[in-house]
């Protein structure tokens, strides 16, 4: 049997916070700050955003490995954080996250319209997140109440390795019955999420303004003047460059035009791994 390249996309695999819900990705970042504070360690919102996209235990481990944060911990406890310390912070993070997830559960403006357009193009909607399943269950429940119900959901603790490994995206491919990874596009607001899609052999779309990289509320984003917004786009574009996204757009509302462009490229014989 001869291999045939896909001629059009079959599925879109979407991140959650900062992509479809929670403009600015505040739910996870603010809770990291609060969890560390309960141990007497000051972590800024900017610091907490650095490893965003990873599984939450790995995120905390990465934060604890930052020299400045490790030194604050050493000054408080007389040692740098061990894996047991990371687990203790994670165990406090989890109930705080579940308790407050509803505060930042609103759908990103334009998300539902975009999902409808994607479905009208016969695309399946897969999803994955850096949240563990116990948090994702609540996120999915709240999204369903707001009118968003994807075809599949994979939490970070449901696969052997979370982002930037490709396991969650590939789990979507299997569950959705997709014939070729090149017929999928991964959409995310973080570099680990883009690397996840790239490593899975998919097209990738990085969101510059709705998520962790810009870190503003929707109103704050809309109130930026054109020059400042363009400056932020350039900064975020440079931040994403090492992960090599195929496309950069402001928010999910801009995704339909990208889908059309990818379909045109596939029809011409282009593949994500060759770009």
Whether residue 53 is predicted with pLDDT greater than 80 in this model: the reply is: no
The mean per-residue pLDDT over the stretch 3-19 comes to 96
pLDDT (0 to 100) of residue 269: 96
**pLDDT grade for 97, boundaries at 50, 70 and 90:** confident
Listed residue (16, 19, 52) closest to 209, CA to CA: 19
CATH class of residue range 27-103? mainly alpha
Task: Determine if residue 17 is labeled as part of a ligand binding site.
Answer: yes
Whether residue 134 is predicted with pLDDT greater than 80 in this model: the reply is: yes
Task: Determine if residue 75 is labeled as part of a ligand binding site.
Answer: no
Show the tokens assigned to 29.
């970042």
> Which residues are designated catalytic?
15, 56
Residue pointed to by tokens 């560390």: 36
CA 157 from chain centre, in angstroms, equals 15
* Domain extent listing, the chain: 11-26+104-274, 27-103
Task: Determine if residue 189 is labeled as part of a ligand binding site.
Answer: yes
CATH class of residue range 11-26+104-274? alpha beta
pLDDT (0 to 100) of residue 50: 80
């Amino acid at each position: 049997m001869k291999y045939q390249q896909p001629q059009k996309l079959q599925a879109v695999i979407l991140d959650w916070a900062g992509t479809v819900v929670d403009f600015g990705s505040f739910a996870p970042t603010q809770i990291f700050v609060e969890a560390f504070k309960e141990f007497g360690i000051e972590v800024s919102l900017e610091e907490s955003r650095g490893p965003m996209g990873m599984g939450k235990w790995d995120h905390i481990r990465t934060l604890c490995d930052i020299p400045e944060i490790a030194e604050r911990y050493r000054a408080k406890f007389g040692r740098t954080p061990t894996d047991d310390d990371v687990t203790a912070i994670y165990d406090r993070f989890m109930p705080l996250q579940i308790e407050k997830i509803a505060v930042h559960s609103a759908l990103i403006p334009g998300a539902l319209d975009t999902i409808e357009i994607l479905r009208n193009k016969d695309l399946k909607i897969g999803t994955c997140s850096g949240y563990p399943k116990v948090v994702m269950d609540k996120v999915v429940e709240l999204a369903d109440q707001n009118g968003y119900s994807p075809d599949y959901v994979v939490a970070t603790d449901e696969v052997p390795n979370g982002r930037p490994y490709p396991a969650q995206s590939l789990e979507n491919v299997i569950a959705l019955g997709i014939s070729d990874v090149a017929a999928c596009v991964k959409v995310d607001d973080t570099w680990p999420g883009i690397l996840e899609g790239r490593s899975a052999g998919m097209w990738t779309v990085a969101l510059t303004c709705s998520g962790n990289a810009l870190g503003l509320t929707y109103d704050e984003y809309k109130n930026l003047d054109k020059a400042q917004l363009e400056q932020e786009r350039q900064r975020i574009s440079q931040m994403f460059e090492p992960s090599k996204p195929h496309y950069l757009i402001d928010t999910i509302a801009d995704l339909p035009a990208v889908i059309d462009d990818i379909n045109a490229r596939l029809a011409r014989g282009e593949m994500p791994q060759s770009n």
